[in-house]
Amino acid sequence: MIRTIKQGAFIFIQGTFVRSLPNGKISVRVGNKTYEGEPVSRAA
């Protein structure tokens, strides 16, 4: 599943969902790298 996260004020990263973290953030993978950030809610 593709998910989008927010890192900082203007940086958004879209990648494959890896896992949910206990602090409410999620991890996504882009290539070999894994990023953590706030999940972006889905549009209606």
Please say if the pLDDT value at position 44 is more than 80: no
Lookup result for tokens 């927010």: 6
Lookup: tokens for 39: 């999940």
The model carries a pTM of 0.84
Please say if the pLDDT value at position 37 is more than 70: yes
Band the pLDDT of 43: cuts 50, 70, 90. confident
Q: What are phi and psi of 42, to 5 degrees?
A: -75, 145
First vs last Cα of the chain: how many Å apart?
Answer: 17
Computed on alpha carbons and rounded to an integer, the radius of gyration of the chain in Å comes to 10
Q: Show the CA angle centred on residue 35, arms to residues 38 and 11, nearest 5°.
A: 60
Instruction: Say what the pLDDT of residue 32 is.
Output: 97
- Condensed to tens digits (0 to 9), the pLDDT of residues 2-27 reads 999 999 999 999 999 999 999 999 99
SS3 21: coil
